[in-house]
Structure 1
Amino acid sequence: MDEAARNGDLLQDGTSVGVSVAYEGAMGDAAQGRALARGFLERVQSVHGFPVSRRAMDIVQLVVSELLTNAFRHGSGRCRLDLNVVGGCVRVAVWDASTVLPMPQAPDPSRVGQHGLEIVMAVSRNFEVRRETTGKRVVAAIVLADDPEGDLAGHRF
């Protein structure tokens, strides 16, 4: 993990708040990615005033974990995680060096495992996969304040 992410620095470009981290595919990197996402969203809420529901907090961590695990498992191990808040959503983007695009499998109630991509697609407002000059980028957008009861992460009403 790079030093900026370890220190929890937020980058601002005037239109979004974000953080980026490079991983090598080591044991525990997916857990570090979940922790990074949780800390990032806590700062987005407390420092920048964006509402973040508990549900969104959980979903973003799940999406980060699934996308990083897929990048480690099916890519070269090296990958990059970018988290950005844009338009009321957190954009989770994972780049890896593999040019093979992920494909959701056909529904099969007897299949055990390999449902991660289906889950990510189901919980995301937008989902896209695109080839890049080197490798591919998988992007999922999750709404930050989607709890109809207004239950914000870290707040008691």
Structure 2
Amino acid sequence: MDQSADESGGELSVPSLMEASLALNSDGSRIAQARHLAAAFLDKVRHTQGVPVVTATVEIVQLIVSELVTNARKYAPGPALLRLRVADSVLQVELWDSNPALPAAEAPDPERIGRHGLEIVTALAQSLTVETTPVGKRVIVHVVLAGAGAAGVG
């Protein structure tokens, strides 16, 4: 765990932060790679940080990553960047893409084919926010990895 000194010279405990990222091109070849990165990253979190990440949570995160990367590939004209971060047993999945248009979930319609990605991500995540950036947008999703809010727990 990282440590730093406070103003009085005492030690402050700073939660360790784990991070992984993947640059994505627009040809769609990285969707499977993004899913594998998410699973490997959560496995590393489980083993190095001792966070009890259950299999159901890994599968949920892989689905969220897949939906975000698929949407970026489909709607953004250029590159994208996937970033995964864990702090305090919460995973932040961040996807930046070059399209400034903000996504909007459509009303539920069981007869609609496709365009359910944002509905799925919203249902599975603890929170979802979308913000514009100087070039494009950033979608940020939080998933609880351990505790009462984690998949398969509670």
TM-score range with shorter-chain normalisation?
A: 0.7 to 0.9
Q: CA deviation at 1:14?
A: 5.6
Q: Give the partner amino acid of 1:114.
A: R
Once residues 28 and 69 of structure 2 are traced to their aligned partners in structure 1, the CA distance between those partners, rounded to angstroms, is 12
Match for residue 133 of structure 2?
132
Give a deviation string over 1:67-108, Cα, whole Å, max 9, x none: 001001100141000000022211100000100000001122
Runs of 4+ in structure 1 over 3 Å off = none
2:23/2:82 contact within 8 Å kept: yes
| 2:108 is aligned with 1:107 | yes
Aligned pair count? Answer: 137
Matches within 5 A, 1:79-118: 79-118=80-119
Distance in 1, matches of 2:122 and 2:78, equals 22
Question: RMSD across aligned C-alpha pairs, in angstroms?
Answer: 1.5
C-alpha distance in structure 2 between counterparts of 1:143 and 1:74, whole Å? 28
Does 2:65 align with 1:64? Answer: yes
User: Which runs of 5 or more residues in structure 2 are unaligned?
Assistant: 1-13
What is the CA–CA distance in structure 2 between the aligned matches of 1:148 and 1:72, rounded to whole Å?
33
Of the structure 1 ranges 118-127 and 106-115, higher mean CA displacement relative to structure 2 is found in 106-115
TM-score, normalisation: structure 1 = 0.82
Task: Give the structure with higher Rg (CA).
Answer: 2
Alpha-carbon distance in 2 for matches of 1:68, 1:77: 12
**Structure 1: stretches of 5+ with no match in the other structure:** 1-12, 150-157
- Native 8 Å contact 2:64 2:121 kept in 1: yes
Q: Give the structure 2 partner of residue 119 of structure 1.
A: 120
Q: Distance in 2 between matches of 1:14 and 1:89?
A: 12
Name the aligned partner's letter for residue 88 of structure 1.
S
Identical counterparts, % of pairs: 39
| CA deviation map 1:35-88 (0-9, x unaligned) | 000001001111221211111100110000000010011001410000000222
Q: State the partner residue of 1:7.
A: none
1:109-135 Cα shifts (integer Å, max 9, x gaps)? 211121111010011001000001110
Quote the Cα distance in structure 2 between the aligned partners of 1:78 and 1:117: 20
3-state DSSP class of the match of 2:58?
helix
**1:53 paired to 2:58:** no
Q: Which has the higher strand share?
A: 2
Q: Output the TM-score relative to the length of structure 2.
A: 0.83
What amino acid maps onto 1:141 in structure 2? H
**Aligned residue among 143, 148, 157 for 2:153:** 148
